Amino acid sequence: MSTFQAPKGTYDLIPPSSATYLAVREAIAAPLRNSGYGYIETPGFENVELFARGVGESTDIVTKEMYAFETKGGDRLALRPEGTASTLRAALEANLHKGGNLPVKLWYSGSYYRYERPQKGRYRHFSQVGAEAIGVEDPALDAELIILANHSYRSLGLSDFRILLNSLGDKECRPVYRAALQDFLRGLELDEETRRRIEINPLRVLDDKRESVQEQLIGAPMLRDYLCEACKTYHEQVRELLTAAGVAFEDDPKLVRGLDYYTRTTFEFVHDGLGSQSAVGGGGRYDGLSEMIGGPALPSVGWALGVDRTVLALEAEGITLDLPAATSVYAVPLGEEARRVLFGKVTELRLAGVATDFAYGGKGLKNAMKSANRSGARLALVAGERDLAEGLVQLKDLQSGEQTAVALDAVVDEVRRALA
């Protein structure tokens, strides 16, 4: 074993389990690519101020969980704790919103970092696939993203998840609610840190998971009772579009999410088989974020789905994905001349699109065939000196045990036929 281990709260993705993670990422990305979303990749670290302004200075993410550091040049940077602020920053920097085709629709996949208390489903390094639609205020966009996420989960075979939906209002109606909520919260018995939060962002208190706080929140004013007519109409249109698309959801008036930039539509995907870490993904509308980070007014909406949590959800439902074998054909040479000839055939098969591996290291027949079986290959390509003298190789079906002599120049066609 190595002297070194992965840092606390992180993990290594290794075969064969890594294949499931790749399949989950692909299942989430496929509906996005099919709906006009282009791929974007941003740096793993950004200016600290981007997250302080965008995510919110009162959030746990910024105050407690962000990995911030100073470079040798004196720059204050942070490992990205989420993807939206970085994606919007990159879109603004590249002037994508000036291309004349709004919304700018982007998707991304990568690792994110938060100094969490490690537990199952909550890591310090985690993987997400996210999507953002930038520059348009339209309930159909909010509905589209929720429908696409729902489609991704359904395509994986998941069924025991729920979609929670709420509206957080806008700059017209939220200040009125904020004042009413602050008045209510100031009368509660709360610790000093939570009292400070009341003054900075009282909605954060609604998201407090401690039972001692939740018990006191019974009877707190609800945002839905303070929504202006425009926000009520907008939210109702989102609900109608989801219902028309056959997507079930639950109204959750307490849903606020852990980021300060959300306005109007907010939603969360929760899986009841995951215990306390039940949120597998979520998102919402963030109409003021562009202005917060120095850009023009660009109403936008997006989400991020956790790859790690989605894999745990699959395990909770007992779902095993039907993944293609990494290797279809395994070549076993017997002797030096066979090594030279079969290695050439391996290259031919790979160029023809057949996943092929080779018995490296001069293994004997017995050990090489064990490796062939362990590889998951359907077929073994075996050749010795006598076979080659006759211009043949042996094609063995590793499931049935049947073996057929095949002409050297017909190997690719015969392999394709056998695999089909």
CA-CA distance, 323 to 320, in Å (whole number)? 9
CATH number at residue 405: 3.40.50.800
In terms of domains, do 304 and 360 share one?
no
So what's the pLDDT on residue 64?
77
Neighbours of 33 (CB within 10 A): 12
Residue 95 lies in a domain: yes
Residue 188 lies in a domain: no
Q: Known binder of ligand: residue 83?
A: yes
Q: Known binder of ligand: residue 177?
A: no
Q: Known binder of ligand: residue 233?
A: no
Q: Known binder of ligand: residue 119?
A: no
In terms of domains, do 235 and 301 share one?
yes
Closest CA to 332 of 383, 389, 405: 383
In terms of domains, do 284 and 397 share one?
no
Question: Domain boundary at 316, 340, 373, which?
Answer: 316
In terms of domains, do 238 and 371 share one?
no
Coil vs helix vs strand at 269: strand
In terms of domains, do 250 and 153 share one?
yes
With contact defined as beta carbons under 8 Å apart, do 89 and 296 qualify? no
Q: Known binder of ligand: residue 257?
A: yes
So what's the pLDDT on residue 121?
72
In terms of domains, do 385 and 362 share one?
yes
Residue 207 lies in a domain: no
In terms of domains, do 249 and 391 share one?
no
So what's the pLDDT on residue 227?
93
Residue 293 lies in a domain: yes
In terms of domains, do 390 and 271 share one?
no
The shares of helix, strand and coil residues in the chain, as percent rounded to the nearest 5, are 40, 20, 40
Take residue 297 and report the two structure tokens written for it.
């007014």
With contact defined as beta carbons under 8 Å apart, do 142 and 238 qualify? yes
CATH number at residue 96: 3.30.930.10
So what's the pLDDT on residue 118?
76
Domain that holds residue 333: 329-419
Residue 408 lies in a domain: yes
Closest CA to 418 of 330, 291, 329, 353: 329
Amino acid at 341: V
Question: Domain boundary at 250, 281, 316, which?
Answer: 316
Q: Known binder of ligand: residue 178?
A: no
The beta-carbon contacts of 181-190 under 8 Å, at least 24 apart in sequence, are: 181/205, 181/206, 181/220, 181/221, 184/219, 184/220, 184/221, 185/220, 188/216, 189/216, 190/216
CA-CA distance, 189 to 137, in Å (whole number)? 40
In terms of domains, do 310 and 247 share one?
yes
So what's the pLDDT on residue 78?
94
Residue 9 lies in a domain: no
Q: Known binder of ligand: residue 182?
A: no
In terms of domains, do 237 and 354 share one?
no
Across the beta sheet with 250-251, the strand order is 38-39, 104-113, 125-134, 300-306, 279-285, 263-271, 161-167, 250-251
So what's the pLDDT on residue 59?
65
β-strand 300-306 against 279-285: which pairing, if any? antiparallel
Per-residue pLDDT of the chain (420 residues; tens, 9 = 90+): 678 999 998 999 998 899 999 999 999 999 999 999 999 999 999 999 998 886 766 566 777 788 999 999 999 999 999 999 999 999 999 999 998 889 999 999 999 999 888 777 788 999 999 999 999 999 999 999 999 999 999 999 999 999 999 999 988 888 888 889 899 998 888 888 888 888 877 887 887 778 888 888 888 888 888 999 999 999 999 999 999 999 999 999 888 765 667 889 999 999 988 877 789 999 999 998 999 899 999 999 999 999 999 999 999 999 999 998 889 999 999 999 999 999 999 999 999 999 999 999 988 899 999 999 999 999 999 999 999 999 999 999 999 999 999 999 999 999 999 998
Q: Looking at the 3D structure of the chain, how many domains does it have?
A: 2
Residue 219 lies in a domain: no
So what's the pLDDT on residue 224?
86
In terms of domains, do 152 and 242 share one?
yes
In terms of domains, do 36 and 121 share one?
yes
Q: Known binder of ligand: residue 261?
A: yes
Question: Domain boundary at 270, 293, 316, which?
Answer: 316
Q: Known binder of ligand: residue 132?
A: yes
Residue 8 lies in a domain: no
